[in-house]
A and B are shown apart, each in its own frame.
Chain A
Amino acid sequence: MLRFIVRRLLVTIPTILVVITITWGLIKLAPGNFYSGEKRLPPAIEKAIREKYGLDKPWYQQYGKTIWGIVRHGDFGTSLRYEGQSVNAIIRRSLPVSAAVGILAYLLALIVGVAAGSIAALKQNSRWDYTSMTLAMLGISVPNFVLGPILVLVFSLTLYWLPPSRWGGFPSRNLILPVLTLSAIYMAYIARLARAGMLEVLRSDYIRTARAKGLSEKDVLIKHALRGGLMPVVSYTGPALAFLLTGTVVVERIFALPGLGNYFIQASLNRDEPLIIGIVAFIAITLLLMNLLVDIAYAYLDPRVRYH
């Protein structure tokens, strides 16, 4: 197991470097630059700007400087668009916002989804089962950029209960709508997965044995069935986190939250090369680590799984 973990961690490093290189190349190929405006800048001013940020050097020198800074100091440089702000500082500042929204959304999705799905499995074909699965269908089909504005329209603009956008610190009422919007689709998916997993487990021999032994329904469910029934949910967590990160981008945009996603969009629109590379690298590392954790959790949950 340990060997497996170490090997995975070692592979992470060249993977990240490849990701950075491809990103850097794509940015260079994209038309436009970070200082352009409606009126074209006089050539001397444009030259001064390009020299100030090292854009006048040949491409291999620029690439070398970028990579060297990252590998040697872990320093992704200074933002081109936001004068004097280092990329590392921007990421450090915006990460808690995205993490708060993302983690809360996923926790909410897990708790509600697993509960709803398990109960649906227990009470199969009942009213509860049909209602929750229909709602799950709705949750999967409605995109978050439709659900978000609808929630804002109802709870903010009509009822005046909740703020329509912006970050209010942690914790605050500003979190409610973004977390709800982001969690909806995962809640739905997890409910369906939990239901399917539980249904299969509840039919198996060892559950029948537990029931025959006289254990209460609650003990049967929580002590024995849940562990096996949640396998599909756990294996979904890996890719779900990837989508969570991209989903966060849309939600942050709708609700004007100062998180990584919002910065990422702005950086791309602004052609802010160091910031784009920094955020992409950060997301890549996070994804790789999260997937590793999920694999480890999988091994814990299912004793039949072994890694070499």
Chain B
Amino acid sequence: MSKQKQIGMLFLLASITFAALSCNVASSNEQFFGKTTPPERNIFRYVTGDEPESLDPAISNGQPEARIYMAMFEGLVEYDAKTLGPQPALAERWEANNDSSEFKFYPRHNGRFSNGDPIDATDFVYSFRRALAKETASRNAYLSYYIKYAQAFNEQKVFVRDPQTGQFLLAKDFDAETPPEPLSGSPFDPAKGEYPRAAEQHPASAEQGAQHFIYEDNTEFHKQMHTPLRLTLPGDAKARNKALDADPKLKAAVAGKELVPVKAEDIGVEAIDKYTLRISLVQPGPFFVGLLAHQLYRVVPRKVIEKYGSQWTQQQNIVTSGPFKMKTWRPYDKLVLERDPMNWDAASVKLDEIHFYPMSDNPTIMNLYKVGEIDAVLNHTVPNAWLEVVRTKQDYMDGAEASINYLLMNVTQPPMNDVRVRKAFNFAIDKKAWAQWRKIVKPLTAFTPEGIFPGYPQPKGDQFNPEEGRRLLGEAGYPVIKKPDGSYSCPKFPVDQVEYIYNTQESNKAMAEWMQAQWKQNLGITISLRNMEWRTFLNARAKLEYKGFSRGAWGADYMDPFTFLSLFYTGGENGTGWVDPKYVAMLDDANRTPDPKKRFELLAQAEKYLIDAQPMIPLDTAAVNFVKKPYVKGMYPNAGSLYPWKYVYIERDPSKWDYGSPSLTAD
């Protein structure tokens, strides 16, 4: 055979081999995606996402860190594995006052850090104060702003006090819009029955005792909390003078008074005794207890932090409070946690160890899962192109997710500053077709995830109506012309003034092209696409350095509609430039309403207002999508993808495995 023929044979052989191999991979008829051999030891191997920024639970607000914190640190309450509602953790029980503006928690007597030190209410007071301290620079501090003076301390503001009388200036005297005081700020009057439920819970003290119960912990701090909200001014002299110059009445009142910096001790948290913790809120907060499961509120070891400072999370120093403690940590390789025998609930912890592997490339993570080297992957790891195959497997998890996708619009520049133009573009997108194409999402016309909050009367936005969109564009001065072949064109529309920006990723590119095609098809306008690296994109969007549309998505911080609606609470940096004091007032009104049902109605009204103003185009409610091995039990695809790790275990009897998504309905 000649040389050329030989080489030709070689290549033919190689191609056939590759073809055969790839067919083998693609047409697998197995029930599950990859190997399903449980690990030999009683360990659980999980990919968290990227390398964690820090193991200090107060600092980071990223997704990868959240699941690690849940294993290493514990709070007063913990997320329920299925509903994400608050379950007692380090707190045995709690009570709320009449309008949910003050709470009392009762920490367990057997709470322990991993080095054996006891955990009591003073540790929680320390943890909350530290989380809000300027030096900690916590990204999540805003989640604590419901606590009285928490925001003032975190922002380093000052009180204003009269040196002669010792009286502080009050907020309501200088701001007519100051809301009425909740019960936690009103003068304390036992006759008001601030804690009627206390009588139910302590029947022994109901008669003579009710008075006894309420009076005995009316400490000096408590009395001080029950005074009207004090006025606070910026601590920075320049900002303060600016505020004073803007308000002559304020300036006159402040003259001659002394400025007292807001200290950590002013925050509305108090350890009445070692096993009673009281929290005073600045407004009624019916959702507040659920918020306390967040990592910001988990307890940290005071002695260790004071000794080692920012090095306290290093392997040789760290002390934890959760069901698992650190065994070894090799950054960018793996973090190994083991069961903490000191934890109050160590008997319920099923796993011996958890291994967290930090990785960020989705196909690499899925490959690792396929060969059986990890037991579950984090949410949204399955690449879109793989969904056809992976969705049919019985280890694919899906379920409703408390997160939404949408497009933001820069409303400060023409033509998008015209609400008719914005509505036109919204009308021109067929959300149902989008959901079908994307496969794992549900269409959305509002700004909160659908079906996630029980009892919430979510408003409906505009449905797909391209005819109406074209009409609105014409009204706005950009008439849409129908061409002889049936397609549309809009020659007057300034396409050079509008673009669509997104951060570089395969799925985002496909999404951008899909949107572009919709607008071309229904409005006859071709919007140019521009992709950029993640942080450059965040920067451009926050500073409004883009014209037209940008991609957006948000997942709930806590299980309440307000976590979504609050994205437009502050103006300017929400990526659109849209701000409306009326919307802010509607939200504030809702949050001040003690009745949960009425509150939901008011929130829904605010949401309707937001949808009508159309600073964004809603697209879909996302769905949870990840894979976990069938032998992993106790891990449920809940709406926040948050797993209390102590309930997770490895089941070695195949008849008891999970075949398909485990049900979320309580049993």
Contacts and interface: CB of A to CB of B under 8 A. Distances in A.
Interface string A43-70: 0110011011000000000000000000
A40 B568 CA distance: 11
Interface in B1-55: 3, 6-7, 18, 21-22, 24-25, 35, 50-51, 53-55
A36 interface: yes
A36 B359 CA distance: 20
B326 interface: no
Interface in A25-42: 30-42
Contact of B574 (A40, A44, A130, A131): A40
B569 to A, nearest CB: 10
Interface stretch (A221-229, A254-262, A276-284, A287-295): A254-262
A166 B367 CA distance: 11
Contacts of A253: 361
A164 interface: yes
Given A35-B139, A45-B139, A45-B141, A254 B538 contact: no
A263 interface: yes
A157 B539 contact: no
Contacts of B18: 150
Contacts of A48: 134-135, 137, 154
Contact of A271 (B3, B311, B535): B535
B538 A52 contact: no
B62 interface: yes
B536 A32 contact: yes
A269 interface: yes
Nearest to A156: B371
A158 B21 contact: yes
B283 interface: no
A269 B54 CA distance: 17
Interface residues of B, number: 62
Given A32-B536, A83-B313, A164-B371, A39 B137 contact: no
A52 B535 contact: no
Nearest to A81: B53
Query: Which of A94, A165, A266 has the most chain B CB within a 10 Å cutoff?
Result: A165
Classify chain A's interface size: 35 or more
Interface stretch (B166-174, B197-205, B330-338): B330-338
Nearest to A270: B535
Contacts of B135: 48, 52
B538 A38 contact: yes
A170 interface: no
Contacts of B53: 81-83
B542 interface: yes
A163 interface: yes
B554 A39 contact: yes
B135 to A, nearest CB: 7
A254 B363 CA distance: 10
A153 B535 contact: no
Contact of A38 (B332, B364, B553): B553
Contacts of A82: 51, 53-54, 331
Nearest to A159: B21
Nearest to B554: A38
B367 A134 contact: no
Contacts of B536: 30-32
B237 to A, nearest CB: 14
A36 B539 CA distance: 8
Which of A32, A34, A81, A158 gathers most chain B CB within 10 Å? A32
A255 B359 CA distance: 10
A214 interface: no
B609 interface: no
B521 interface: no
A255 to B, nearest CB: 8
Interface in B127-159: 134-135, 137-139, 141-142, 154-156
Interface string B535-547: 1101110100000
B314 A84 contact: yes
Contact of A85 (B155, B331, B371): B331
A47 to B, nearest CB: 9
A258 B542 CA distance: 32
B535 A269 contact: yes
Contact of A93 (B21, B331, B373, B534): B331
A152 B373 CA distance: 14
A45 B573 CA distance: 14
Given A32-B535, A82-B54, A157 B141 contact: no
Interface string A213-243: 0000000000000000000000000000000
Contact of A165 (B7, B61, B141, B367): B367
Interface string A70-103: 0000000010011111000010011000000000
Contacts of A163: 371, 373
B599 interface: no
A274 B397 CA distance: 40
Interface string B317-334: 000000000000011110
A170 B6 CA distance: 40
A308 interface: no
B216 interface: no
Nearest to A53: B137
B567 interface: yes
A269 B330 contact: no
Given A134-B7, A158-B24, A158-B25, A36 B364 contact: no
A49 B135 CA distance: 8
B370 interface: yes
B613 interface: no
B220 interface: no
B59 interface: yes
A96 to B, nearest CB: 12
> Which of B7, B138, B370, B542 has the most A CB atoms < 10 Å from its CB?
B542
B398 interface: no
B234 to A, nearest CB: 9
Give the one of A34, A36, A48, A78 with max B CB within 10 A. A48
B610 interface: no
Contacts of A52: 134-135, 137
B357 interface: yes
B331 A164 contact: no
Contacts of A167: 333
A201 B172 CA distance: 95
B539 A84 contact: no
A32 B364 contact: no
Contacts of B156: 44
A153 B22 contact: yes
B445 to A, nearest CB: 22
B370 A157 contact: yes
A265 to B, nearest CB: 10
Nearest to B553: A38
A258 B371 contact: no
Contacts of A127: 3, 6
A111 interface: no
Interface string B348-388: 00000000010101001001101101000000000000000
Contact of B534 (A94, A134, A269): A269
A245 B330 CA distance: 22
B218 interface: no
A145 B542 CA distance: 34
A227 B357 CA distance: 47
B539 A83 contact: no
Nearest to B3: A130
Contacts of A153: 21-22, 25
Nearest to A130: B3
Contacts of B142: 42, 45
A166 B357 contact: yes
Interface in A116-146: 127, 130-131, 134
8 contacts: A31-B535, A83-B55, A83-B313, A84-B313, A156-B367, A166-B359, A258-B332, A269-B534
Given A164-B370, A258-B331, 12 more contacts: A33-B535, A45-B154, A84-B310, A130-B7, A154-B21, A157-B371, A164-B367, A254-B364, A256-B359, A256-B361, A256-B364, A269-B533
